[in-house]
Amino acid sequence: MKIRTTLIIIVIAILAVPGFVPAALGTSKGQLSVIIDTESIRADEAQAIAHNLRAIGVSADVRIWEWSALKERIQAGERQIYLTDWGSAYFDPFDIVVPKFLTGDRGNYTGYSNSRFDAALNQALLAVDADVRKDAYFDAQQILFDDAPAIFGYSLTEVEAARSDVLNWQPSMDSRVNLHDVGLARGDTIVVGLYADKVVTLDPAAYRDRPTETVIRNMFDALVTRTWDGRVVPEIAEGWRAVSDTEYLFKIRKGIKFHNGDSLDVDDVVYTFDRVLREAGMGGRTSPRQGLLGPVEKVEKVDAYTVRFVLSAPFPVLPQALVHFQIVPRKHLERVGDEAFAREPVGCGPFRYVEGRLDDRIVMERFDGYYGGSPMLPPVATAQVKRAIFRMMPDPTVRVAALKTGEVHVIQSVPAHLVSALRRDRNIQVKSVEGTRVYFAEMNCTRPPFDDPKVRRAMNYAVDWDTILRTIYAGNATRLSTAFLPSGFGFNPDLAPYKYDPARARALLTEAGYLTR
Amino acid sequence: MGHVSVPSDELYKGAMATARPAESARALHRRGTMRRLMAHGGGRTGLIIVIAFATVAILAPLITPYAPDAVDLESWLTPPGLESNHLLGTDQLGRDILSRVIYGSRVSILVGLATICISSVVGVGLGMLAGYYGGVLDRLLARFTELLLAFPYLIFVIGIMAIMGPGFCNLVWALSFKGWVEFYRLARALTMAEKNREYVDAARALGRSNGAILLREILPNMANSILVLGTLRMGNMIVMESSLSFLGLGIPPRIPAWGSMIADGRRYMLGAWWVATLPGIALALLVLGMNLLGEGLRDVLDPKMMEG
Amino acid sequence: MIRLTRTQVKIAERILATIPLALGVAIVAFVFMRAMPGDPVDIMMGEGAWTSEEEMAALRDEMGLDEPIHAQLWAYLKRVLAGDLGYSMIRSRPVAEIIREALPATIELAVFSLLFALAVGIPVGVASALKPNSFVDRAGASLSLLGVSLPAFWLGIVGVLIFSMTLGWLPTSGRIAYDAQPAHITGMVILDAIITGNLPALGNALKHICLPAVTLGLGVAAVVARVTRSSMLDVISADYIQFARAKGVPEGEVTRRHALRNAMIPTVTLVGLQFGSLLGGNMIVETIFGWPGLGRVVVDSIFARDYPVVQASVMVYALTFVLINLATDIIYTVLDPKISL
């Protein structure tokens, strides 16, 4: 036999086998057929969902995308079901439910629109009275639950781990790694393995992402800060007072020093906010954080230790928002310029910058002139450790390996399947906090089949979240009834999530006119 | 990317020699290639491995204990062993790894075959045109391929996948997009060498058209070289698919492919080594087989080696 | 007037020819990035609430993204020709600075992978050639084929699990410990440690580079072994070697003095080609080992649609690729005067 013939026969034999070439899924007439889109990180979950949907006679398949590419197609209304998530920083539905489900808002990928829901949200946003806001959010929650624009999912518990010789360590809900209070039983340098490829900048006005904020907040302080479980407490400010719905006064603590020795005063505070609010305020560029200040119109000096925030509309979450605006030294920044400042930042936080590379590691040292931080967060003193290093460690397996070998002391985001093994390790302590990010599978409500709420509810009944969360996420997750977070304002604990009920799902699908095999 | 291919120069050395025996030697050295391949240690091993994999792939539905996409979350990450019902364990969705590895051979072979087919058809076609006609076309293609080679491959593929979106066919296209360059260079070099030979002149004298000369005279003469290059490159393509899966841009996950199985299982290496390692071994074996076969073919089809 | 030799003229020509190529690559990268779905401003803004369309439009305007594509391209090319690579959209720093910072790490890793590949590949290749079809030959061939066929990210993680976690010999990731850093001279820490005679730093850096270099270099080692083997086989059967043998030169000396030297010529060419692919092919290895090099910058920037960074990095890769090929061609002519450029 000729060799070429042999090879050609092999090739033909392979191609001739029926079903060898992965073909499109066969769909019988009248059967519902969907494609679930996801980023690779949630591919497992997407397949489990597809498996659940197939069990009720829906032909379901999964596609893995690069996020930006997928997002553009979602926004063009071309996709069907897509696994997405959205994080909240303000502990209020303001920055999670509003952008996700308010008609036409920036994060509204489902095309969901319900005027009753919008009215309830708007009422909650503009009211200052807490009870009115809460009632409005309760209404909104019920409407959202019934309309089910998404297969509502869960929030992941943030699991972090540290070597057992790290003292007084507590992960916080806003995924901040606060090294001020942390001590070491042995040694004086603490190393943190960040779940990040890079930090974007060291300038508190020039970023929008969490890892950057985590690093920056160890070198800079803000007017207010948060306890690990999300309460807002004063930091640079001694206290604050709402004069009206649209005017707030903040009193500044005396005797705070920046790392270069300058004293912090009201001018620094005014300058910090002015830099963010002003067009091209950051050395010719506009701060990407501008929008985070919402309706804040201007920030002005009242006297040497008082500053006034003037708003164009009520903004009840202002104190929550101010946690994320770190104060910069005006005189120093004006002298060295924005670019040099980002390279060698000077703040008033517990650590001062030593050296670093944004995609490698950032090294900082204890600032001995530190005022002690928020009196509500003991110990009120300089940092316990002499030096802190943040290392970028994008690979989860390597991060855990580095913790086990002792190369790093603290790591973020422990992979779910390793949590129990790490808990058994005597050299390691594992702690978790409730997450502030909502995960769900959104549906395209603008087009059949998901323009029909019956079908959307059927999807919600069809997915066996309990099993998915127990296995794939090893139980480190909280099932949610809607997109409202338990930690956020206005959460209704009595609204139970959709139960896993395939029979009911089938019934709903049949009612909507689809065959369920 | 991290995997490297045999430089084309080394291939050309063998391939150019292969194409040389144009007339009578051709018939002589073709006869019995199979027998000589079987006598060539590496070639024989390679052929046996490839045939074994092809057989497993064809018989997949008959020999797998489970459906490759049968999700069973309750028994996720079961270690391999005889005590459970999963000989090679299960993956992060409780799917049977043995079944997935067996079905994965279909997809991986198919990815390899399809990309190589597309690459070789495009590459050989353009290469022959460039080599035969030369001129502006040749110069244009030379610049274009230079550009493609200088462009980092992974960036290129990420971009293509983002533009086209996920899917089996898109992946094959993305992999072929640069794969053809090597076939192009080989075919161009061979065509330039062949076009001035007597038999081509003779065909021209008989009034054959250029198309006929290219297809009927020159192409059969370089088929062996292309075959060799294709066999050697197929493994690379299968490995390349795994790199894309690593970056989250692979094949739709319901289709079991070794590359994406390794990439997914990598996250579980600590604690569940088998998820990524077993398909890795299968992949390594097949690539080994393809390469041995390719090298065996090169040695056998190369008359210089035959005489020596 | 200086008279140039023919070779020098050719070299000059080749160097000049890289300019249009670099521009071509820049144009392709430019068009390519714009063709990709996604918008850098949108990605940078993440999920923040209260981000208005006006705010995003203003940022786009600041970055020049609202101009027509051809105008953007033209402006970009003009700036590049003037030596200005632009400003990163996400990292708020000049692109040139980002590349200057990341490139040394990438070059260092590529060089060490190559050294590893040569240190392993050449002896294996020679040994297999001296005793073809022996056990050594078979084992070498199989191992080198495995080296080519195992994905780097798998090898890397297995390496970390074995050598860092289980044996505790090597660090899991990173480039050098903070307290062991040598003075900054070239940015390549190993070179800096050697220049400053800082032995602890050198040791620390070498420990860090081991795993990534081996992971990246294994595939190349395989290719080097195969090429060395085949060129050794060619050389051994050559007349002058048979002649040397006939003259009674000891076998070891034949191998070392005559055969190996000549067999090295193709290996040297190969080294040049592979160095280029090592530079461009290290993105995954850099991600796994947290190695702060250009590969990671590029992958991150392509996902963030940081256009200027991707464009500039692609140009750097392309230029390196072309220049290294040129360099090997030059070395080749030096080794074997019969060949001209």
Answer whether residue B6 is part of any domain: no
Q: What is the DSSP letter of C162?
A: I
Q: Which residues contact A211 (CB under 8 A, 6 or more apart)?
A: A194, A195, A196, A198, A199, A392
Residue contact C62–A395, C-beta within 8 A: no
- Arithmetic mean of pLDDT over chain B: 79
Q: Which residues contact A8 (CB under 8 A, 6 or more apart)?
A: none
Distances (CA, A) of A488 to A262, A420, C306: 38, 28, 34
Residues of the domain holding B137? 32-307
| Interface check B167 vs A, CB under 8 A | yes
Residue B23 binned pLDDT confidence (cut-offs 50, 70, 90): very low
Statement: residue B47 has pLDDT above 50 = yes
Statement: residue B81 has pLDDT above 90 = no
- In degrees, rounded to 5, the angle at the alpha carbon of residue A245 between the alpha carbons of residues A242 and A251 is 20
Statement: residue C14 has pLDDT above 90 = no
Residue A40 binned pLDDT confidence (cut-offs 50, 70, 90): confident
DSSP H/E element including A234: strand A232-234
Statement: residue A27 has pLDDT above 60 = no
Statement: residue A220 has pLDDT above 50 = yes
Q: What is the DSSP letter of C3?
A: P
Report chain B residues whose CB lies below 8 A from the CB of C237. Answer: 308
Statement: residue B249 has pLDDT above 80 = no
Statement: residue C224 has pLDDT above 70 = yes
Assess whether the previous peptide bond of A449 is cis (omega < 30° from 0). yes
Mean pLDDT confidence for B81-108: 86
We report the CATH number of the domain holding residue A272 as 3.40.190.10
The answer for B 143-162 residues in CB contact with C (under 8 A) is 143, 146-147, 149-156, 158-159, 162
Query: Cβ(C296)–Cβ(C279) under 8 Å?
Result: no
Q: Which range, B30-44, C68-82, C145-159, C230-244, has the best average confidence (pLDDT)?
A: C68-82
Choose among A21, A69, A468: nearest Cβ to B165: A69
Answer whether residue B4 is part of any domain: no
Answer whether residue A13 is part of any domain: no
**What is the distance, to the nearest Å, from the Cα of residue B81 to the centroid of all Cα atoms in its chain?**
33
User: In residues, how long is chain B?
Assistant: 308
| Interface check C67 vs A, CB under 8 A | no
Query: Cβ(C33)–Cβ(C311) under 8 Å?
Result: yes
Specify the pLDDT at position C335: 66
Same domain for A35 and A110?
A: yes
- In chain B, whose CA is at the least distance from the CA of A17? B58
Statement: residue C237 has pLDDT above 80 = no
Mean pLDDT confidence for B168-192: 86
What would the pLDDT profile of B190-204 be if each residue is shown by its tens digit? 888 888 888 888 888
Choose among B4, B162, B235: nearest Cβ to C36: B162
Mean pLDDT confidence for C3-14: 78
Statement: residue B11 has pLDDT above 60 = no
Specify the pLDDT at position B62: 86
Residue contact B269–C161, C-beta within 8 A: yes
Specify the pLDDT at position C271: 76
Mean pLDDT confidence for B25-45: 68
What would the pLDDT profile of A239-275 be if each residue is shown by its tens digit? 999 999 899 999 999 999 999 999 999 999 999 999 9
The answer for B 243-302 residues in CB contact with C (under 8 A) is 243, 246-247, 259, 262-263, 266, 269-270, 273, 276-277, 280, 283-284, 286-288, 291-292
Mean pLDDT confidence for C180-186: 82
Specify the pLDDT at position C51: 66
Choose among A14, A41, A48: nearest Cβ to B73: A48
Residue-wise DSSP of A373-408: S-TTSS--SS-SSSEEEEEE---HHHHHHHHHHTS-
Residue A195 Cα, gap to closest chain B Cα (Å): 14
Specify the pLDDT at position B1: 36
What would the pLDDT profile of A178-204 be if each residue is shown by its tens digit? 898 899 998 899 999 999 888 989 999
Answer whether residue B10 is part of any domain: no
Residue C68 binned pLDDT confidence (cut-offs 50, 70, 90): confident
| Interface check C220 vs B, CB under 8 A | yes
The tally of domains found in chain A comes to 2
Residue B19 binned pLDDT confidence (cut-offs 50, 70, 90): very low
Mean pLDDT confidence for B116-123: 92
Residues of the domain holding A242? 158-433
The answer for B 34-53 residues in CB contact with A (under 8 A) is 34, 37, 47, 50-51
The candidate with the shortest Cα–Cα distance to A324, out of A387, A232, A403, is: A232
DSSP H/E element including C122: helix C95-130
Residue A470 Cα, gap to closest chain B Cα (Å): 9
Same domain for A96 and A162?
A: no
Same domain for A420 and A458?
A: no
How large is the C-alpha radius of gyration of chain B?
22
Same domain for A259 and A172?
A: yes
The answer for C 208-267 residues in CB contact with A (under 8 A) is none
For the question of an ipTM over 0.85, the answer is no
Report chain A residues whose CB lies below 8 A from the CB of C36. Answer: 68-69
Specify the pLDDT at position A19: 59
- In degrees, rounded to 5, the angle at the alpha carbon of residue A102 between the alpha carbons of residues A96 and A106 is 70
Q: Which residue has the tokens 């800082």?
A: C198
| Interface check B223 vs C, CB under 8 A | no
Query: Cβ(C94)–Cβ(C219) under 8 Å?
Result: no
Residue contact A20–B58, C-beta within 8 A: yes
Same domain for A356 and A373?
A: yes
* Sheet containing A361-366: order of strands: A351-357, A361-366, A387-392, A189-194, A410-411, A158-163, A428-433
Residue A31 Cα, gap to closest chain C Cα (Å): 32
Residue A38 Cα, gap to closest chain B Cα (Å): 10
Residue B30 binned pLDDT confidence (cut-offs 50, 70, 90): low
What would the pLDDT profile of C103-125 be if each residue is shown by its tens digit? 999 989 998 999 998 898 888 88
Least trusted range by pLDDT, from A306-320, A495-509, B225-239: B225-239
Distances (CA, A) of C70 to A454, B256, C75, C76, C87: 49, 43, 8, 10, 19
Specify the pLDDT at position B305: 37
Statement: residue B277 has pLDDT above 50 = yes
Residue contact C292–A391, C-beta within 8 A: no
Residue C85 to residue C69: CA distance in whole angstroms: 18
Residue contact A418–B272, C-beta within 8 A: no
Specify the pLDDT at position C25: 87
Distances (CA, A) of B264 to A396, A422, B64, B256, B258: 13, 21, 21, 11, 10
Statement: residue A351 has pLDDT above 90 = yes
Report chain C residues whose CB lies below 8 A from the CB of B259. Answer: 151
What would the pLDDT profile of A449-468 be if each residue is shown by its tens digit? 899 999 999 999 999 999 99
Q: Using DSSP, state whether C340 is helix, strand or coil.
A: coil
Specify the pLDDT at position C1: 52
| Interface check B74 vs A, CB under 8 A | yes
- Arithmetic mean of pLDDT over chain C: 82
Same domain for A144 and A273?
A: no
Query: Cβ(B106)–Cβ(A18) under 8 Å?
Result: no
Specify the pLDDT at position B4: 42
Specify the pLDDT at position B226: 84
Q: What is the DSSP letter of C160?
A: I
Residue C34 Cα, gap to closest chain B Cα (Å): 10
- Arithmetic mean of pLDDT over chain A: 90
Q: How do A387-392 and A183-184 pair as beta strands?
A: unpaired
Residue contact A288–C174, C-beta within 8 A: no
Q: Which CATH architecture fits C103-335?
A: Orthogonal Bundle (1.10)
Residue A26 Cα, gap to closest chain B Cα (Å): 14
Residues linked to residue A306 through DSSP beta bridges, in sequence order: A251, A303
Structure tokens at B34: 């199979």
The answer for C 4-43 residues in CB contact with A (under 8 A) is 36-39, 42-43
Statement: residue A134 has pLDDT above 80 = yes
- Chains touching C by CB (3 or more pairs below 8 Å): A, B
Residue B6 binned pLDDT confidence (cut-offs 50, 70, 90): very low
Residue C209 to residue C109: CA distance in whole angstroms: 7
Which amino acid, A235?
Answer: E
Residue contact A198–C93, C-beta within 8 A: no
Residue contact A66–B158, C-beta within 8 A: yes
- Tell me what percent of the residues of chain B surpass a pLDDT of 90: 7
Statement: residue C333 has pLDDT above 80 = no
Count CB pairs under 8 A between chains A and B: 127
Specify the pLDDT at position A335: 94
Q: What is the DSSP letter of B247?
A: T
Answer whether residue B59 is part of any domain: yes
What would the pLDDT profile of C84-109 be if each residue is shown by its tens digit? 888 888 887 889 999 998 999 998 99
- Domains in chain C: boundaries: 17-81, 103-335
Answer whether residue B16 is part of any domain: no
Q: Which residues contact A267 (CB under 8 A, 6 or more apart)?
A: A301, A330
Residue contact A360–C160, C-beta within 8 A: no
Mean pLDDT confidence for A283-304: 88
Specify the pLDDT at position C231: 80
Residue B158 Cα, gap to closest chain A Cα (Å): 9
Q: Which range, B123-127, B297-301, C60-64, has the best average confidence (pLDDT)?
A: B123-127
Q: What is the DSSP letter of B167?
A: S
We report the CATH number of the domain holding residue B41 as 1.10.3720.10
Q: Which residues contact A24 (CB under 8 A, 6 or more apart)?
A: none
